[in-house]
Amino acid sequence: MGLEFLARVRRTSLWLSGLAALMVATYLAPLPGLAIAAGAAWSLANLEILERLIVTLTGTDRAALPSRARAFGWLFALALLFGGGALLLGVLPAGWLMIGFGAPFAVMVAKAVSGLLLATGLWARLTRSSWRAALLVIAVGGLAWLAVSALPRAGAARAAHATAVAAQASGEAAAAGSESQHEGQKELGFPTVVTLLEAAAPEAGWVRFVVRYESILFSALVALILGVIGFFASRNPQLIPGPLQNAVEGVVEFINDFLVGILGPRYGPRYVPFLGTLFLYIFAMNLFGLLPFMHSPTASLNVTFALAITVFVYVQYTGFKELGVIGYVDHMLGSPRDMTGWILAPLMLPIHLLGELAKPISLSCRLFGNIFGEDMLLVAFASLGISMLAFSHLPFGIPMHALFFPLALLSSGLQAMVFTVLSTIYFLLMLPHEDHEHDREAHPAH
């Protein structure tokens, strides 16, 4: 067994502690869930460092200078880890930290006991009959049910206590003003990483900064993830691409063909990098809120309006660059070429100006409204699933919001596509129409 056994212990502990942290954060409070996750992470890191240190000290070249240097490096990492553990004990609840810390050791004991049990004749007799095996599974499930049934009751008691405290502090809440309103708005959604940080250190200045700029930080994180994926997909291109390179090339080819089909072969390749990046960025931000403890940045009007303003500025710049000042004004006047056109020009100018100014508003509000409404729909059905605990007596809520995940995936892709297509059409309307007609004549559709 040896190192392979430890690897299995780490994988099982990771899934077990992650599930426990999610359940506790959902049914009790975010802070204990964060403490369980932090304790498990600390314990797994400790086991990893100890394993590397023991392997280095017991290796065949342990007397060599590089092995001694690696051993001192692992000892230094272990010291840093213990310093981080002391910091966690001062910030997070110690009891919940110990539960997370003990998760890998509990997995080790459970694996050892199960290994001994599987080798006994009693286990062979129990599992020889399918009926006895089924009864055993039911008995274990019942014990697990009883073990975790305290979570909903504890969560209800905590909620009642929080309601009483909130009622006593109503005067302070009224004096809090805009800050209380901001916190109330955040409670509409699922708890996020920022929520956990705020619960862990509500008075820290950097936590207040993170809370204030939550949507911006999440959007920057999405951009970083897309950048890392693009870097690893293109850093070493192969003639026979690997899975990542193949997937990225397929997505890029689809977006390029789609946008060039709208803009034409002359202007299409010029604007595909911007519009393609816009689509992938919005699509990734829309999906980001479906991940546990994450938030969709496009559910914030600030983010969607920033995206729309970027498109608006680029479109106007394209108009000045491609048409010139006189051509841009002529475009805003409706391109009059006869007496009727010149008579209607004073009317067309304000209509075109209002239309250009309305484009970023319509783009931003449409994307924000759909993603925010999608998040609220998921929250509403998740709350309905939790409320079923009152009469179902289950130890966990029914994840009714999971039924809407396919709809959320479809809506996320559709809204990203709508935003990108409308932006592409805005570019198309601003570009010289004569060139597009020439492109269509030179490259007729098949």
For residues 305 and 366, give the distance between their C-alpha atoms in angstroms, rounded to a whole number.
Answer: 10
Average pLDDT over residues 126-154: 64
64 pLDDT tier (thresholds 50, 70, 90): low
Output DSSP code: residue 262: H
Residue ranges per structural domain of the chain: 3-176, 177-212, 219-442
Higher pLDDT, 246 or 379: 246
27 pLDDT tier (thresholds 50, 70, 90): low
Higher pLDDT, 131 or 421: 421
- Look at residue 440 in the predicted model and tell me its pLDDT: 46
For residues 389 and 382, give the distance between their C-alpha atoms in angstroms, rounded to a whole number.
Answer: 12
3 pLDDT tier (thresholds 50, 70, 90): low
Average pLDDT over residues 112-136: 71
Per-residue pLDDT for 176 more than 50? no
Residue with tokens 């090339």: 249
List the one residue out of 419, 318, 431 whose CA is nearest residue 362. 419
For residues 113 and 216, give the distance between their C-alpha atoms in angstroms, rounded to a whole number.
Answer: 49
Average pLDDT over residues 358-367: 90
Burial status of residue 187 (CB atoms within 10 A of its CB: 0-12, 13-18, 19 or more): exposed
- Look at residue 446 in the predicted model and tell me its pLDDT: 42
- Look at residue 435 in the predicted model and tell me its pLDDT: 44
The two three-digit tokens of residue 414, written as one number: 């559709």
Structure confidence by residue, pLDDT tens digits, 250-265: 999 999 999 999 998 8
Per-residue pLDDT for 419 more than 70? yes
Per-residue pLDDT for 224 more than 80? yes
- Look at residue 12 in the predicted model and tell me its pLDDT: 83
Average pLDDT over residues 6-29: 76
- Look at residue 445 in the predicted model and tell me its pLDDT: 44
For the entire predicted model, the pTM comes to 0.62
For residues 351 and 348, give the distance between their C-alpha atoms in angstroms, rounded to a whole number.
Answer: 5
Higher pLDDT, 413 or 440: 413
Per-residue pLDDT for 312 more than 90? yes
Contacts (Cβ under 8 Å, ≥6 apart) of 192:
214, 293, 294, 295
Question: Which of 116-120, 334-338, 356-360: highest mean pLDDT?
Answer: 356-360
439 pLDDT tier (thresholds 50, 70, 90): very low
Average pLDDT over residues 165-176: 50
- Look at residue 327 in the predicted model and tell me its pLDDT: 84
Question: Which of 72-81, 239-248, 300-309, 405-414: highest mean pLDDT?
Answer: 300-309
- Look at residue 183 in the predicted model and tell me its pLDDT: 43
438 pLDDT tier (thresholds 50, 70, 90): very low
Question: 3-state secondary structure string, 120-160?
Answer: CHHHHHHHHCHHHHHHHHHHHHHHHHHHHCHHHHHHHHHHH
- Look at residue 280 in the predicted model and tell me its pLDDT: 94
225 pLDDT tier (thresholds 50, 70, 90): very high
- Look at residue 309 in the predicted model and tell me its pLDDT: 94
Higher pLDDT, 403 or 418: 418
List the one residue out of 430, 164, 148, 196 whose CA is nearest residue 314. 430
Average pLDDT over residues 29-56: 81
- Look at residue 145 in the predicted model and tell me its pLDDT: 58
- Look at residue 285 in the predicted model and tell me its pLDDT: 93
Mean of pLDDT over the chain: 77
Higher pLDDT, 285 or 327: 285
Per-residue pLDDT for 181 more than 50? no
- Lowest pLDDT segment from 152-161, 179-188, 372-381: 179-188
431: left (phi over 0), alpha (psi -120 to 50) or beta: beta
Question: Which of 57-61, 63-67, 141-145, 388-392: highest mean pLDDT?
Answer: 57-61
